[in-house]
Amino acid sequence: MSEIPQDLKYTKDHEWIQLADDGTALIGITDYAQESLGDVTFVELPEVGDSFESGDTFGVVESVKAASDLYMPVSGEIVEINDALEGEPELVNRSPYKEAWLIKVQLADDANTDDLLSADSYREIAG
């Protein structure tokens, strides 16, 4: 059974998002996603300052099994990337919700969080 923390929001594409009170959010991939991928060997992330719309591809996670696109759950600008993943992509397998967050974004003024799933709703998809 995949770990699905209650305090996060989720997407149907298996990204998680942790919204902060300051208008920023951390984004990563779920435990279910990393289990499906297998051993992660490489993570390609955007540059700080890049902006994306909700649904845009913002990076790629590669594993011994496959490469999988990463999709933005909300519109916003990248304010930080997790540099640790460059040298240690296996963090995604070990700690998908803590150490292996992927990006931090400043939410756009019109960022829509209404389509994000609760933990319970995501559990129905991920099992």
Query: Which residues pair with residue 57 across a beta bridge?
Result: 71
Strand ranges of the sheet holding 40-44, from the earlier edge strand across to the other edge: 40-44, 57-63, 67-71
Distance from C-alpha of 112 to C-alpha of 102, rounded to nearest angstrom: 20
State the pLDDT at residue 1: 62
CB burial of residue 87 (10 Å; 0-12, 13-18, 19+): exposed
| Domain total of the chain | 1
Question: Is residue 115 situated within a structural domain?
Answer: no
pLDDT tens-digit map of 89-104: 999 999 999 999 999 9
Question: Is residue 3 situated within a structural domain?
Answer: no
**In CATH, what number is assigned to the domain containing residue 32?**
2.40.50.100
pLDDT tens-digit map of 51-90: 999 999 999 999 999 999 999 999 999 999 999 999 999 9
State the pLDDT at residue 112: 87
Q: What residues make up the domain containing 94?
A: 9-109
